[in-house]
């Protein structure tokens, strides 16, 4: 088969995924390709992916996006991590933060020294040695060249798509209004040839990016890629979302509050709060889930509750023939660790690094899909960890999670940490050792051992080392304003 040069890229669907793809391709590859995006004003988007993780800042820098402009446009606030409430057991809580805890050495990470410190009779919490985590607990935020901080954002996903649309159209992306009625394929090789719209126009392209959400109109309905179901590992299959009025002092972290059949999120923006309940329909029906959410809100509602049904898992190929799937079209991992937008971003960057200027090759497809599978399985394992490692036995849902069989990759990580205190990352891991340790300790896993190097310090040296870290954190925290004060100075939106 003669390879087809890629000159025209067609993005099917808008929303966060579609406009992130358009923005990146237009900014970084626009001299070589033409980009058009098809979307319909009549088709809504899920629009609840409002929390992010720190690599989004790198994505914005790559595109030359001004952070303050972006934050004002999306009514964004800062995020230092996620507070998990009731996950280990009812009335317990811990924070999974974006910061590095303590200081590491060649033989192991800081938690080995903290474990030895505990054995010596000290009762300091592991969280006491993380700057970002302590800033989150105190409701503080700020940064300067002398006092950096690792952060992400809470933002309005619909406004983010609109912001990126304006950004993309300014760079020459053509938006076409219409609904896709038919996907036309080449007879000889099954590649996508064009898309027929409901207004009798036909949009031809050399490469197609599917951002049509759960339907996967191109990647699944046309190319029959197949789906790998992970609901046996992540049993939640539903969510109900609603917006409420904003709070006077928005927290610099997401709240994740476990309940008897799933968990509730609270995401504070500048002008409102995004709320939702993720649940398993086998244990909680839609009516009771909606009532449970509405009974546990802070502030008056601004919207009607919206039910979202989903199946966790992934397409068997993220790139199939001349089609790339992004966002919900590529699969779904529940939003517990705010990875949805991150997966869109990494998918775009990976695709651009393998971009088939001179034609699609099996080698590029295979490499993309291999890396995507590794990344998705690592994130899946990290999310499953929260459900599996818990002392909750107070409902059928939690008893099911405790008893369920988990992937060998995760079982090995848990067993290794329990026995030795060690965590080793896989190739696709986006979460650092610190993240795994914070969650495992927070969920109640205490290692039986730690690295011998931690015990080589005498008592005086270890005390000086540990106290020095805490003093440095206290000094840095004293310089920070409140989260609200920094937002008012940096990116406040006009009422």
Q: Report, as residue numbers or ranges, the catalytic residues.
A: 79
Longest dimension (CA), the chain: 79
Q: Are 113 and 466 in contact (CB under 8 A)?
A: yes
Task: Give every strand in the sheet of 331-332, ordered side by side.
Answer: 227-229, 313-315, 331-332
Contacts of 421 (CB under 8 A, 6+ apart): 108, 111, 112, 115, 447, 448, 449, 450, 451
Strand, helix or coil at 204? strand
Q: How far apart are CA 78 and CA 483, in angstroms?
A: 8
Length of the chain: 495
Crossing angle of helices 157-170 and 15-29, rounded to 10°: 30
* Structure letter (DSSP) for residue 334: -
Beta-strand runs (E) in 127-268: 152-154, 174-177, 180-185, 192-197, 202-204, 207-210, 227-229, 238-245, 254-259, 262-268
| 5 touches 206 (CB < 8 A) | yes
Residue 151, Cβ neighbours under 10 Å: how many? 22
Q: How far is CA 204 from the centre of its chain?
A: 33
Contact 129, 117 (CB under 8 A): no
């Amino acid at each position: 088969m003669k390879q087809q040069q890629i000159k025209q890229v067609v993005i099917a669907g808008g929303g966060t995924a579609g406009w992130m793809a358009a923005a990146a391709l237009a900014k970084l590859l626009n001299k070589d390709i033409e980009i058009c995006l098809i979307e319909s004003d009549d088709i809504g988007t899920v629009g609840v992916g409002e929390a992010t993780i720190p690599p989004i800042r790198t994505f914005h820098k790559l595109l030359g996006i001004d952070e303050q402009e972006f934050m004002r446009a999306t009514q964004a606030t800062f995020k230092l991590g996620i507070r998990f409430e009731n996950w280990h057991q009812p009335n317990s809580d811990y924070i999974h933060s974006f910061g590095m805890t303590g200081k590491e050495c060649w033989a192991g990470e800081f938690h080995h020294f903290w474990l030895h410190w505990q054995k010596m009779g000290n009762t300091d919490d592991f969280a006491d040695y993380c700057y970002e985590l302590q800033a989150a607990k105190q409701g503080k935020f700020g940064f300067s060249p002398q006092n950096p901080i690792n952060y992400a954002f809470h933002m309005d996903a619909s406004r983010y798509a609109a912001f990126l649309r304006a950004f993309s159209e300014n760079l020459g992306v053509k938006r076409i209004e219409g609904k896709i009625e038919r996907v036309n394929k080449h007879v000889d090789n099954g590649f996508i040839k064009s898309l027929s719209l409901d207004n009798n126009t036909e949009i031809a392209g050399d490469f197609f990016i599917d951002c049509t959400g759960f339907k996967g109109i191109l990647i699944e309905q046309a190319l029959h890629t197949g789906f790998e179901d992970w609901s046996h590992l992540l049993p939640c299959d539903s969510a109900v979302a609603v917006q409420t009025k904003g709070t006077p002092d928005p927290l610099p972290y997401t709240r994740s509050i476990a309940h008897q059949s799933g968990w509730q999120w609270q995401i504070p923006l500048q002008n409102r709060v995004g709320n939702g309940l993720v649940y398993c329909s086998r244990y909680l029906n839609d009516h009771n889930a909606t009532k449970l959410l509405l009974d546990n809100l802070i502030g008056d509602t601004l919207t009607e509750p919206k039910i979202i049904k989903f199946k966790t898992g992934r397409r068997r190929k993220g790139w199939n023939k001349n089609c790339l799937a992004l966002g919900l079209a590529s699969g779904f991992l529940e939003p517990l660790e705010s990875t949805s937008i991150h997966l869109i971003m990494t998918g775009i960057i990976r695709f651009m690094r393998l971009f088939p200027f001179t034609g699609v090759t099996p080698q590029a497809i295979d490499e993309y899909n291999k890396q995507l599978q590794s990344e998705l399985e690592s994130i899946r394992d990290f999310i499953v960890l929260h459900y599996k490692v818990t002392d909750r036995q107070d409902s059928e849902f939690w008893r099911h999670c405790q008893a369920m069989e988990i992937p060998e990759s995760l079982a090995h990580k848990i067993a290794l940490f329990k026995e030795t205190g060690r965590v080793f990352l896989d190739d696709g891991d986006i979460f650092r050792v610190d993240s795994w340790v914070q969650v495992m300790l927070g969920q109640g896993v205490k290692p039986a051992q730690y690295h011998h190097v931690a015990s080589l310090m005498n008592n005086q040296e270890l005390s000086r080392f540990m106290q020095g870290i805490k003093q440095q954190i206290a000094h840095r925290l004293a310089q920070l304003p409140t989260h609200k004060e920094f937002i008012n100075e940096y990116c406040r939106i006009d009422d």
